[in-house]
Amino acid sequence: MIYVLVIVLFISSCNKFAEDKLRNSSYKGVIISLYKEEKNHNVGMFSVKENEFCFEVDAFIFHEAFEYAESGDSIIKKKGEMSILIKKSSSNSRLFYYR
């Protein structure tokens, strides 16, 4: 019973850490590619370029973002928010919230 409680508390603290990390992040870049991370249950990922830096964004945590986005779209994440904005070159845009 104590073992189960420890596991539940550990998972809860990991989720809180991940949410805090997401909330405190910010970026504004261009999606240069989309792919499925085979080693992580085929989770949808974005490769993003911001200025001269490239990094990965876990698209899975933003409901339907992977299906909507295309290479060349702009992606914006504001500090303090739990969402991303994806802007198309056609000037259409859509907000995706953390699930």
Summarize pLDDT for 45-79 with one digit per residue, the tens.
Answer: 999 999 999 999 999 899 899 999 999 999 999 99
**Residues 72/43, Cβ–Cβ less than 8 Å:** no
Q: What is the pTM of this model?
A: 0.82
**For residue 25, what pLDDT is reported?**
93
**Residues 41/59, Cβ–Cβ less than 8 Å:** no
Confidence of residue 89 (pLDDT cuts 50, 70, 90): confident
pLDDT, tens digit, 9 for 90 and up, residues 22-36: 899 999 999 999 999
The more confident residue out of 2 and 74 is 74
Confidence of residue 41 (pLDDT cuts 50, 70, 90): confident
**For residue 26, what pLDDT is reported?**
95
- Count of alpha carbons within 13 Å of 62, Cβ hemisphere only? 25
What is the C-alpha separation between 49 and 19, in angstroms, rounded? 23
What is the C-alpha separation between 29 and 32, in angstroms, rounded? 9
